């Protein structure tokens, strides 16, 4: 009998932290962030109303922890190919944008959370540092791609703003339900590539 299975019938739940996160994500997916309640989660899981606080001291901390994991996962997805020596810097840039957008499409709940100021307000301080380090990497990669000849005469900060905007914008269009009606059927991966193609030409 596994440790987890044994714990399920015992006084200790054994895996409460993970289950709390899972159920919270599921709740957000179909009822929204607002609908997340520690007591309701505890009820669903079958544990006492104060049990969740042994794992997350406050409701905000639970949401912030999920968002924190989301940012880490997003940055991992965006930087996956960034050290591949076979790629030009322009190709790395494209990979960063595509990785970002693909992540947002696959993780709409996390993408929602990391854009929520109420949630991010309670995120760990060093998360902001990590985001800023990524931003610098992004800007630096742009500068190197320019050194390769791409948009050589344009202002780096302007290109940075434009690329950040189109990436964040396409991510939003690809994952936010309100755009599912504006772009009927949503945007396919092919269409996203097409929307990006002009910029990386």
Minimum distance from CB of 50 to a copy of itself (Å)? 22
Residues at the site binding DNA, with contacts judged by CB under 7 A:
3, 6-7, 10-14, 16, 36-40, 42, 47-51, 53-55, 57-60
User: Which of a copy of itself, DNA, none binds 6 (CB below 5-8 Å, type-dependent)?
Assistant: DNA
* Nearest partner of 54 among 6, 20, 104, judged by Cα: 20
Q: What is the DSSP string of 178-189?
A: HHHHHTTT---H
Could you tell me if residue 151 is left (phi over 0), alpha (psi between -120 and 50 degrees) or otherwise beta?
left
For a copy of itself, give the closer residue by CB, 13 or 103.
103
* 32, 106, 181, 193 from 184: Cα distances, Å: 23, 18, 5, 17
Residues at the site binding a copy of itself, with contacts judged by CB under 8 A:
32-34, 112, 115-118, 120-121, 128, 131-132, 135, 154-155, 157-158, 160-162, 164-170, 172-173, 176-179, 181-183, 187, 191-192, 194-195, 198-199
Minimum distance from CB of 62 to DNA (Å)? 8
Query: Which sign, positive or negative, has the C-alpha torsion 42, 115, 101, 76?
Result: negative
Minimum distance from CB of 199 to a copy of itself (Å)? 8
């Amino acid at each position: 009998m596994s440790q987890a299975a044994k714990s399920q019938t015992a006084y200790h739940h054994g895996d409460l932290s993970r289950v709390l996160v899972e159920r919270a994500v599921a709740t957000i997916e179909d009822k929204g962030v607002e609908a997340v309640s520690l007591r309701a989660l505890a009820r669903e899981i079958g544990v006492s109303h104060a049990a969740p606080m042994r794992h997350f001291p406050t409701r905000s901390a639970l949401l912030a922890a999920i968002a924190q994991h989301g940012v880490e996962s997003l940055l991992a997805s965006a930087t996956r190919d960034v050290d591949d020596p076979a790629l030009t810097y322009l190709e790395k840039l494209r990979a960063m944008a595509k990785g970002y957008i693909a992540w947002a499409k696959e993780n709409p709940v996390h993408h929602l959370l990391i854009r929520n100021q109420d949630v991010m307000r309670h995120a760990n301080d060093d998360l902001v540092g990590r985001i800023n380090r990524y931003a610098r990497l992004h800007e630096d990669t742009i500068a190197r791609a320019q050194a390769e000849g791409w948009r050589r005469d344009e202002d780096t900060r302007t290109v940075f703003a434009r690329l950040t905007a189109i990436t964040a914008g396409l991510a939003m269009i690809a994952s936010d339900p309100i755009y599912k009606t504006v772009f009927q059927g949503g945007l396919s991966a092919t269409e996203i590539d097409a929307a990006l193609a002009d910029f990386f030409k």
